[in-house]
Chains A and B, each alone.
Chain A
Amino acid sequence: MNKLEGYSKFFVGFSIIVLLVLWVRLAYIQLYASALKERAEQYIVEKKVVKPPRGLIYDRYGNILVANEPAYDIMVVPARLKIEDTGFVASLLGLTIEEFKQRLERARQYSRVIASPIVSAVHPDHFQRVQTYLSLIPGFSFRKGFIRKYYNKHLAHVVGYMTEVSREDIEQDSFYMPADFIGRTGLEHFYEKELRGQKGMRYVLVDAFGRERGSYADGKYDVQPVPGKSLHISLDPDLQSFASMLMAGKRGAIVAIEPATGEILAFVSSPEFYLDSFWHRNRSSYYLNLLKRPDKPLFNRGVSAAYPPGSTIKPLQTLFGFKMKTISYYSSWYCPGAWIRGSLTVKCHGSHFLPSPQEAIQYSCNSFYCELFYKALSRYPKGHRLALMQWNNFLKEFGFGRLTGIDIRGEKPGLVPDTSTYDKMYGKWWKPTTIISLAIGQGEWLATPVQLAVYVSAIANGGWFVQPHFVRQIDNEKPQWEKYKIDIPKADLEHVITGMKKVIESGTARIAKIPDVEWAGKTGTAQNPHGEDHSLFMGFAPLDSPRIAVAVMVENGGFGSQWAAPIASFVVEYYLKRTIDSSRLWLLNRVKQPINYEQ
């Protein structure tokens, strides 16, 4: 058996030394550090968060588009609060008495003795009035903050709005504290992490009355805030305003892209709303009203609204016909005014005598495309399943049926049907004639305006496109955007582009002719079972070196040539020439009229 006597002397020595060191330190702090003690008696150290300024947004020409304006947070220390007239104070803060009590309770839960915001981002105009009254009431104090200032009135769906953070936001991301603001839609949401910057921290001495008495330890422990990064975006502000003006009083969207870069020049979703109102005193009631309106101004039609693309995809179907070798440059069929197969009839806009592929685009001949699509699907016996998948893949290459990756919130992928879509609808028993409406862009096929703009820029570029985007630069960093190549013969494309040129020269969109500008496009009409059809147009200009590709959608606008084509032509004309030719002013006046949705 081993022998162990007594205790470990090292252990006891160690323990005694540790206790002695702690005791001496204690004595030093409590008895001898008198300076420390005096400071402690007079002041307390408080930790104050310093909010960084949010990143600015510049337009394509380097001018400021969105900036910050100083605003004020009204802070409250519940323990010090002495209110005589609750109703008056609540109304001064723009709250109801219930809301005011709720917020006071929230502040009380956070701390009774540390100031926390009760109302944040108070506009400076309003703040002056508030300050004169509230500074007389003990318990209220003020803190500097920021609100957004917009230099263009038509940014609602691009920049997006901001609101106060919710409880979930705070739980998910420790960056946020009550009364902070967070981007909810658009660029403000997509680039929230870049724009928000990093918070700073200040240690300040506060006296017994809660007044600040200078910084602690000369700011040795302070952490400086890091301002948010600036965004340099590709928007052309004048074009944006002009395009918004064109869409006033209508529901719909305009997306204009620079084809070579994928940069978005103008992006309108109508009706719009006012971002400034999201910083006003009664912002919550403004927001609730927007939610209630039947024309859904908060719905971003440019990226979230998917409609059947209608005849705008006829150039694409032509390319598919070339690829599948169901047509050549010289094919033609007689169109008696409808396409008839068994009991099925698809109406055309008129009777066309032996249209060539180019003429079929020019006059938007439905019969031609039904025949083309039917032949492609029934090329091999029972081969329509395979052919539909080929068609599906071909469309996906042009950006249909998937997210384009645009850098704002709320994008929908639309839908390009494949065999499984129809298996679900009809079982296995569907035939080429069942799905013939796809030939003319109707039926289950759904596309968003931004997808149409991407597709037309792919044609304009000659077989490739860049992921559409707003942001060219974040501070000094250039984000990388995806470039997609499409395997398609140049000659096919040129053939189709000539057809699209004829659409404007002497086809369905003659009305969209612009003096001295050669350009190409295609009208479309999305069938709408609930009312008037939607008017569509897509095109690009100029023909030889495209600088702008545009897609326009006007809800319940009827034929493409009625609203969408002229609107697109004005967007193109304004961007290229910065003016509107006097010979077209009558048309501009007609297009500016609102559409009456009451009926």
Chain B
Amino acid sequence: MVVNRQRMDWIVFAIYLILAIWSILTLYFIEVSSGEFTGVWQRQAIWLAISLVIGFIVLMIDSQLILSFAPLFYAVALLLMIAAIIQGQVVRNIHAWVVIGGFRFQPVELAKVATALMVARWTARRKPSAITAIKGSIWAVIPAVLALAQKDWGSAMTFAAIPLALTYVGFPVFLIIAGIGLYIVLLVVIAGYIKLLLILYGIALVVLLIVFRKQREYIKYIIGVVLVVTGMTLSMEWAFTRVLKPYQQQRLKVLVGQERDPRGAAYNVIQAENAIAYGGFTGTGLGKGFFTSFKFVPEQKTDFIFCAVAEETGFIGSTVLLFLYGLLITRMLLYVSRHRSPVIKIYAHSVAGFFIIHLLINLGMVLGLLPVIGIPLPLFSYGGSQMLSFSLMVFIYLNFSRERYTLLH
């Protein structure tokens, strides 16, 4: 058998390196501007070095072998998550850390890689259909539920990447749109604007009835859908106000940014917005960020790292950063679109999914569009677990990217 090897996707590798090095530089300049050197950028550099070493090992492994190990990998990741729940360390009220050999890491990050592999392998062996896609999503539901048990809302939400990716094999798009709609409705209900919502439903009903007044057969569906949606909204309202205890309500309200959190979630957002605005078009210059230097944005080295980029390099820098992420995502999908193995294509979709969902939640929070939920900016925020798992995802992708003509399963 002739093995047709193709060149690796060097562009993705280049983008990966640029992002990781940019992250280290950003951390370095945060330390320069605040005048406090705590060894953060050096540690991030060490993490990158470790990631590269592991990455090159991954590149040397046979692609089929990686796929064969997917179930084992998946099981180990889930077991580690369970171990973290049972006797892990609690950091920032999240029960998600395990310590192995002096290193502390979050197994949920590992579970993301494992899930992407597992879903790709399982789905690629079946006929593409809505049913296959929905069944395949169950592999993502399990780690998501475990993450919820760790009180890690942010990580649980990132597993939405899998259904999004599986639209490729036929995951019903309307379910995703309905899911997004439901989330928005939930936010609105918690925020206490239920009356406004009901008025909107009324208007929508009237408009639809007018538009479809000629097609009588649609009218009962329209009324049905509006009734179901209204019912769901009302029951959400009921569950929120009657079933949940006041402190639980409070917590949810803080989560959607409705309640002013005395611990300062509002403060984070205010300071982040100011820092970004202060950057302007060209930015303050590296190591000269005013807000960055005075450490006004909490978590500016981890979840809110985008603020430092936006302040010090301005609109230009942050646009380039956004563009790089966009390029990374689309390049992955396009590059493997002509590959022979479906498993590679599904895997690429899953990895791209994790990237876009992370961007949405993290930047949505930093830019004040979404509630404050702490998850890292991929390959950029300070932190070893995040760096390792996204590196692993990318390098496995790079490994697969060479197998254009072989059929993996």
Contact = CB atoms under 8 A, between A and B. Distances in A.
Interface of A: 2-8, 10-12, 14-16, 18-19, 21-23, 25-27, 29-31, 33, 36-37, 39-41, 44-47, 111-113, 198-201, 203, 216, 221, 223
Contacts of A200: 262
Contacts of B315: 26-27, 30-31
B256 to A, nearest CB: 16
B128 A40 contact: no
Contact of A16 (B271, B326, B369): B326
B56 interface: no
B371 interface: no
A26 B319 contact: yes
Contacts of A23: 319, 322
A36 B273 contact: yes
Contact of A44 (B279, B294, B363): B294
Contacts of B356: 14-15, 18-19
Given A11-B164, A11-B352, A26 B276 contact: yes
Given A4-B128, A7-B168, A36-B277, 11 more contacts: A4-B346, A11-B353, A15-B329, A22-B364, A26-B318, A30-B281, A46-B296, A112-B36, A201-B262, A203-B267, A221-B266
Which of A29, A44, A47 has the most chain B CB atoms inside 10 A of its CB? A29
Given A8-B165, A33-B277, A22 B345 contact: no
A203 B270 contact: yes
B126 A2 contact: yes
Interface stretch (B8-16, B330-338, B385-393): B330-338
Which of A11, A26, A45, A216 has the most chain B CB atoms inside 10 A of its CB? A11
A199 B263 CA distance: 10
Contact of B367 (A2, A25, A112, A198): A25
B295 interface: yes
Contacts of B345: 4, 7
10 contacts: A4-B345, A10-B176, A22-B360, A30-B315, A31-B280, A31-B315, A201-B262, A203-B267, A216-B270, A221-B266
B267 A11 contact: no
Contacts of B35: 112
A23 B165 CA distance: 22
A19 B318 CA distance: 12
B314 interface: yes
Nearest to A23: B322
Nearest to A8: B168
Interface string B293-336: 01110000000000000100011001100100110011001100
B136 to A, nearest CB: 13
Contacts of B382: none
Contacts of A203: 266-267, 270
B128 A37 contact: no
Given A7-B345, A22-B322, A37-B278, A47 B167 contact: no
Interface of B: 35-36, 124, 126-128, 164-165, 167-169, 173, 176, 260, 262, 264, 266-267, 270-271, 273-281, 290-291, 294-296, 310, 314-315, 318-319, 322, 325-326, 329-330, 333-334, 337, 342, 345-346, 349, 352-353, 356, 359-360, 363-364, 367-369
A11 B342 CA distance: 16
A40 B277 contact: yes
Contacts of B296: 44-46
B273 A11 contact: no
Nearest to A201: B262
A15 B274 contact: no
A182 B365 CA distance: 37
A45 B264 CA distance: 12
A199 B319 contact: no
Contact of B277 (A11, A21, A29, A201): A29
A94 B367 CA distance: 47
Nearest to B263: A174
Nearest to A14: B164
A22 B355 CA distance: 14
Contacts of B294: 44, 113
Contacts of B281: 30-31
Which of A36, A41, A47, A112 has the most chain B CB atoms inside 10 A of its CB? A47
Contacts of A223: 260, 262
A282 to B, nearest CB: 35
A21 B369 contact: yes
A248 to B, nearest CB: 47
A159 to B, nearest CB: 29
B260 A11 contact: no
B129 to A, nearest CB: 9
A7 B349 contact: yes
B285 to A, nearest CB: 15
A199 B262 contact: yes
Contact of B330 (A15, A41, A199): A15
Which of B35, B276, B322, B368 has the most chain A CB atoms inside 10 A of its CB? B276
A40 B367 contact: no
Contacts of B127: 2
Given A11-B352, A201-B262, A221-B270, A4 B169 contact: yes
A7 B270 contact: no
A18 B173 CA distance: 16
Nearest to B344: A4
Given A27-B315, A30-B314, A201-B262, A7 B342 contact: no
Contacts of A39: 274
Contacts of B346: 4
A112 B359 CA distance: 32
A30 B310 contact: yes
Contacts of B270: 45, 203, 216, 221
Given A19-B326, A29-B277, A11 B165 contact: yes
Nearest to B266: A221
A113 B295 contact: yes
B278 A40 contact: yes
Contacts of B275: 40
A19 B280 contact: no
B279 A30 contact: yes
A15 B326 contact: yes
Contacts of A31: 280-281, 315
A44 B262 contact: no
A30 B128 contact: no
B322 A36 contact: no
A200 B360 CA distance: 33
Nearest to B338: A6
A46 B274 CA distance: 12
A535 to B, nearest CB: 54
Contact of A45 (B169, B274, B280, B359): B274
A41 B289 CA distance: 12
A23 to B, nearest CB: 6
B201 to A, nearest CB: 24
B310 A221 contact: no
A45 B290 CA distance: 12
A16 B353 CA distance: 12
A243 B25 CA distance: 72
Contact of B128 (A2, A15, A18, A198): A2
Given A27-B315, A201-B262, A11 B167 contact: yes
A111 B34 CA distance: 11
A156 B332 CA distance: 74
A291 to B, nearest CB: 37
Nearest to A174: B263
Given A11-B333, A36-B273, A41-B278, A221 B260 contact: yes
A235 B65 CA distance: 81
B312 to A, nearest CB: 12
Contacts of A45: 267, 270-271, 274, 296
A7 B266 contact: no
B271 A11 contact: no
B342 A12 contact: no
A200 B168 CA distance: 51
A1 to B, nearest CB: 8
Nearest to B367: A25
